[in-house]
Structure 1
Amino acid sequence: MARRRPFNMPERRISRIGFGGARLGSISNPLSMRACQGLLEQAIDMGINLFDTANIYGQGDSERLIGRAVRGRRDDMTLVTKAGQRFSTRMRLIRPLKPLVRMMPRSDPATRRAIVQQRSQNVGKDFLPGSLVRELEGSLRRLQTDRVDVFLLHSPPLEVVQDPRIAETLAQLLGRGVTRKVGVSTDDADVARAALALPVVSALQIPMGLLEPLRSTVSERDPFLMARGIVGWRGARSVRQAFADAVADPQVDTALLDTTSPARLLELAGLP
């Protein structure tokens, strides 16, 4: 299958490897905030210009770090963020304590498991139209920009995607110019199909392993497709070979790398 034309948004080449910011600023991330900033600079120096984040990542610190990294070169970057998930009030109130938590011995597996468990127990969903608008506005402030390139619903259930108020809200955000594309990030094939049935949707983020059952739908709509979970999808291949295969897929616009390792970034240097 021939590679389709390069996707430009608006009129620049988007890197075939994108940086996934899920672990930036997280209390379970072994890197300091300064080291995270250095990792982002390394990615930019390598030619990566797409950065994927979400309002919930690092309790907003992922967006803050990316915003600082792209400051002064925003027009050369493609920013993707998500909304629909949020921490409980309790977790938001203890956010100022993150520097103290970072001093804990996170090398201890039990400590790391406890942190991840506590975080997962305090995450809820909120896809109300007003909440989505407010969350995107908060993301824009943290990213220090007046618009994102892609705004995604973050793991929405099927009934949310099928709610006509959601499509209307996404259309309104497009009309305001605060995002260039809207779509969903999902691990569910039915949710992906329902989203792509909406005329307003033109972006999709899915695990690479989910692409095969969705190929015909993706071919019909031709969304801006971000593939993640490449490391888990690789099987016996090396990480570099798996990413090379992912970006060679004609339906994949960008393969996302979620890492805290400078060495892993270097491993992918030179890929398209």
Structure 2
Amino acid sequence: MRKRQLGQSDLYVSEIGLGCMSLGTEEKHALSLIDKAIDLGINYFDTADLYDVGKNEELVGKAIKHRRNDIILATKVGNRWREDQSGWDWDPSKAYIKEAVKKSLQRLQTDFIDLYQLHGGTIEDNIDETIEAFEELKQEGIIRYYGISSIRPNVIKEYLDKSSIVSIMMQYSLLDRRPEEWFSIIKDKGVSVIARGPLAKGLLTDKPLNQKLKGKGYLSYTNEELKAFLIKLENIDPSHSMTELALQYCLYQDVIGAVIPGASKIQQLIENVEAGSSERLSAQMYDKLQQIAKPGQYEQHR
């Protein structure tokens, strides 16, 4: 598995990571997926305290505790579950972050987190206070580096200007090219993008077309536009599967530190790793893919 440096950190992550949200809560199954991912060369695992009310962190912690030093472990903070677990509220305060990290460490059965990410963010937040919390956690050795998980341009700009983030997690795929507008700015700051949702909820996999089209479209694509796009994608390059095209499209830009598709089955995991390890796209093929996919940009939070 090829690796990339995350920002200007000393974290070298597998190009294909595992988004752990899709592991489920059945322990044997979840542990088998993580074991298989490690066997396949994945060293980067992304979870969050929000997922399954902390259960996801517990499963990840159990799976990696005997090989912790071989793993780049990422988790997230900022969404505070209510006591009755009826939902959660946004809380990026310093007090909450420093309280929440202790609970994450316990669930993950570790004494440090490689990458601690703010799980959202608004321009109304006290961003200076949030940054201060992460910087103190770095100084205390509790976290090695920090990043944000946000698609809001105004929030991203604030953290690029004010903080020492090494990564920004953004939804990014051939069907959601909105982040590309910011790639040059992010790269100039020495920060990496972590691409979540690179397979666009399975639309960019090799499943049959009739299983993917449910009459709802996707983001700015109507169902008719989506169908036309997928038919073009199926026929654009016989040397690559659709999953390969999707993941290699994301990996083409060196500002991308890793792509993190989820996988709820072993076979999906294998297909993702094989696709991520496949032949790189030529510049000509990359341009062809850009010609058939809408560029797009974020209209809100600018």
Partner of 1:59: 53
Residue 224 (structure 1) aligned with residue 218 (structure 2): no
1:182, CA displacement in angstroms? 1.1
Q: Does the alignment pair 1:152 with 2:117?
A: yes
Q: CA deviation at 1:12?
A: 6.7
Structure number, greater radius of gyration: 2
Provide the residue aligned with 1:177 in structure 2.
141
Show the counterpart of 1:16: 15
Corresponding residue for 1:214?
182
Which aligned pairs between 1:1-272 and structure 2 lie closer than 5 A? 6-7=4-5, 13-25=12-24, 32-91=26-85, 122-160=87-125, 163-208=127-172, 209-232=177-200, 234=204, 236=230, 237=233, 238-270=242-274, 271-272=276-277
RMSD: 2.1
SS at match of 2:165: coil
Match of residue 108 from structure 1: none
187-196 vs 131-140, which deviates more?
A: 187-196
Separation in 1, partners of 2:193, 2:13:
12
Q: Is the Cα contact below 8 Å between 1:24 and 1:58 reproduced in 2?
A: no
Partner deviation per Cα, 1:169-195 (whole Å, 9 max, x = no partner) = 111111111111112101222222221
Change in Cα spacing, 1:129 to 1:46, as seen in structure 2 (3 Å) is same
Q: Offset at 1:58?
A: 1.2
1:190 and 1:230 mapped to 2: Cα distance? Answer: 23
Name the residue aligned to 1:105. none
Alignment CA distance shift 1:25-1:267 (3 Å): closer
Give the count of matched residue pairs: 233
Question: Once structures 1 and 2 are overlaid, which stretch shifts more, 140-149 or 194-203?
Answer: 194-203
CA separation in 1, counterparts of 2:42 and 2:107? 20
Question: How much has 1:6 moved relative to structure 2?
Answer: 3.5
- State the AA in 1 paired with 2:264: T
Q: Could you give the per-residue CA deviations for residues 89-132 of structure 1, whole angstroms, max 9, x where no partner exists?
A: 111xxxxxxxxxxxxxxxxxxxxxxxxxxxxx612111111110
How far apart, CA to CA, are the structure 1 residues paired with 2:59 and 2:49? 12
| Matching residue's letter, 1:40 | I
Whole-Å Cα distance in 1 between the matches of residues 109 and 24 of structure 2? 17
Query: Is the 2:146–2:167 Cα contact (8 Å) retained in structure 1?
Result: yes
Q: Give distance in 1, aligned partners of 2:10 and 2:88.
A: 37
Letter in structure 2 aligned against 1:88 = R
For normalisation by structure 2, the TM-score amounts to 0.72
For residue 49 of structure 2, what is the amino acid of its counterpart? N
